[in-house]
Amino acid sequence: MYFQDKVILVTGGTGSMGKTFVRRVLSGELGIPKKLIVMSRDEGKQHEMRVSYLHAGHSTDEIIYRNFLNTLEFRIGDVRDYADVVSAIRGVDIIVNAAALKQVPVCEYFPAQAVMTNCMGAANIVRAVQEHGSSVHTVIGISTDKACKPVNAMGMTKALQERIFISANVLTPKTRFLCVRYGNVLASRGSVIPLFHEQIKSGGPVTITDPLMTRFLLTLNQAVDTVFTALQHGKAGEIFIPRAPASFMTDVAKALIGDKKIEIKNTGIRPGEKMYEIMVSDEEAPHVVARAGYYVIQSMLPELATHREFVPKPLLQKEYSSADEVLDYQGTLQLLKKNNLLDIQSTANSSAEELLR
């Protein structure tokens, strides 16, 4: 059991993925950790998270509630602050770095802030592990499709974060640094589906940047599955990528609107936005292997060659993008229906439902 008796630190643990990760760890599916530390700089979100567990009490899973009481620790801190990171990693075995500035338009207007969190935060974690983290055996960074062939500030900083973690394996061989990279997460905070539902609730129009735009669609639990798989099966310097369905954003909007008389309005691509998501670039494709149902990009650094699998024939012949295999309208409708995202009330409760699964 991978987490059994381990001490786990989750930076940015009050975000959508972080909360689902915490709930899944507390379920004990990979063993009961000795301690699970949630570090973030937002005391309000930490308070809400703590209260949600307390109010749920014994109405939630008994194991989760007991582990919440016995193992979960909240810590105020910021990955931008080296002293905060050093303090948080003492005695830690596993670090999951989910702290990020991830809104594309925000990062376009405040790129220096994106650098501080997404790049310097990662560098602080690496430095802290090198200087004070003798117990840390694994660090995993949560990346994004936008780090692949980046065209916006958020993607550029996430691409650098990947390099910061992967290169750390060279000078810190006793710790395994690796990453996961995935696309749009259904109904996560700031994602498009809650926005569409708000627009529908207000009577429209529902705004689409371009009718041909496609996106990969994952649930929060699938995002956490990717992290769990990478932790259990990943090698130093690797990037794990889920194989996910993709849809036209127009079809997502139509499915959510249903038979309501609401206009769909095309507004044009926003600053830094891509027409489709790319998970693996043409340059990375020759280094991809399949493992545990995922695509895995092996590190190209020669110092990490001993960790690489031999690839006699490339698994991917070109980039892997959301334009490759797109669901039709019915497929998109069924995907949203399966995840209880077709009505406003379901979307409002989707995060809670994901957490309770």
CA distance 36 to 115: 27
Phi-psi region of 144 (alpha: psi -120 to 50; beta: other; left: phi over 0): beta
Question: How many Cβ atoms sit within 10 Å of the Cβ of residue 42?
Answer: 14
Amino acid at site 220: L
CA distance 205 to 196: 9
Q: Which residue has the tokens 């206009």?
A: 263
Which of these is catalytic: 146, 158, 235, 274? 146
Give the phi and the psi of residue 216 in degrees, each rounded to 5: -70, 150
Whole-Å CA distances, 81 to 41, 109, 121, 137, 271: 10, 22, 8, 22, 29
Residue 98, SS3? coil
Count of alpha carbons within 13 angstroms of residue 77, beta-carbon side: 24
User: Pairing between strand 320-321 and 278-280?
Assistant: antiparallel
CA distance 120 to 87: 17
CA distance 339 to 134: 42
Residues 6+ apart with CB under 8 A from 29: none
Element (H, E) at 321: strand 320-321
Whole-Å CA distances, 310 to 6, 139, 300, 316: 32, 25, 12, 14
**Active-site residue flag, 146:** yes
> Which residues are catalytic, by number?
146
